[in-house]
Amino acid sequence: MKKVLFFCIGFLGFHFLQAQELALPPRIDLFQYNTSELASLNMSEHPMARIWGWSNDGKVAYSIEWDVDGRGGRMIEFVILDLISDNKVFEQIIDSFGHDDYDGDYTFEDLFLMYNHVLLDALQANNIVLEQRHDFQPFPLRRNNITFNGHIIDPGYTKDEYGMFDQVVSRYSVLITADNRRKIIGNMIPLSRLTLDIYISGYFLSPFENRIMVVTAEVAWGFEGVRFNYRFNGCHLGVGFN
């Protein structure tokens, strides 16, 4: 009798999970604190982000969505990021061109729903608590009577292999300061070989831990003017500063 009861509970729980539908969090404009003078060269829409939730052991689920220049269509990158190691523990690329019945009319919401169960399973497997309040803020951050700030340091430059620009960014580091202490949270190589500028875009604060996710903007030359690639690094606000 107990085995039958447990089976029924498990069966109903499984189907309840499968019947759930993703509740899409609001879109967030990561461009809103732009400091790059090259922004005026942008001729397309900026990528938009969504924060889906956080775990209490250093993970965050986010997505970036954008319209594809030139080729057309829409793409979404859905990621669960370990903010301790900065490793992606889950990634799903959703491309509107990946569907045989693509007719150019799929919205981002349509694409998310196509992968409803895949994304829900990943969120559950990584103990992500869906959280609807996701304030994106610029530095500095004042917390526990300490002022935190974000900086780009040690940028490296190289000759543009395509002969379009005098120099492009080849490397940089992301530094977080806590009053007079500091810590490097990322040594980065730009996503594009035509990256012209970089700046700290802002941060998200975890609702469960003394930890933030720092967002860095890489301004790169694209198909129609400049485009913005966004990078993400975790930073615990209580340890590691020297």
pLDDT over threshold 70, residue 9: no
Q: How far is CA 220 from CA 72, 204, 212, 235, 240, in A?
A: 19, 23, 25, 25, 31
pLDDT at 208 over 90: yes
Whether the pLDDT of residue 8 is over 70: the answer is: no
Residue 64 pLDDT more than 60?
yes
Does position 141 have pLDDT exceeding 70, yes or no? yes
- Does a structural domain hold residue 242? no
- Dist. CA 32–CA 39, nearest whole Å: 11
User: What integer pLDDT is reported at residue 164 of this predicted model?
Assistant: 87
C-alpha 228, offset from chain centre: 12
Task: Specify the pLDDT at position 201.
Answer: 97
Is the pLDDT reported for residue 43 higher than 70? no
Higher pLDDT, 35 or 99: 35
> In this predicted structure, what is the pLDDT of residue 2?
38
pLDDT tens-digit readout, 151-207: 999 999 999 888 889 899 999 999 999 999 999 999 999 999 999 999 999 999 999
pTM for the predicted model, two decimal places: 0.87
The reported pLDDT for the residue numbered 7 is 37
Q: Is residue 1 part of a domain?
A: no
- pLDDT higher than threshold 80 for residue 103: no
In a domain, 16, yes or no: no
Question: 114-140, pLDDT tens digit by residue?
Answer: 999 999 999 999 999 997 667 899 999
- 177 in any annotated domain: yes
Per-residue pLDDT band for 213 (boundaries 50, 70, 90) equals: very high
Within-domain flag for 9: no
Q: Strand 87-95 to strand 74-82: parallel, antiparallel, or no bridges (unpaired)?
A: antiparallel
Q: What is the mean pLDDT of residues 5-32?
A: 63
> Domain range for residue 64?
25-236
Q: What share of the chain in percent tops pLDDT 90?
A: 70
Closest C-alpha among 79, 62, 71 to residue 44: 71
98 lies in a domain? yes
Per-residue model confidence (pLDDT) at position 101: 56
- Amino acid 71 reads R
Q: Is the predicted pLDDT of residue 4 greater than 50, yes or no?
A: no
Say what the alpha-carbon torsion angle 120, 122, 124, 127 is, to the nearest 10 degrees.
Answer: -140
Is residue 185 within 8 Å of residue 213, measured between CB atoms?
Answer: no
Residue 86 within any structural domain of the chain:
yes
Domain count, the chain: 1
User: Is 15 part of any domain?
Assistant: no
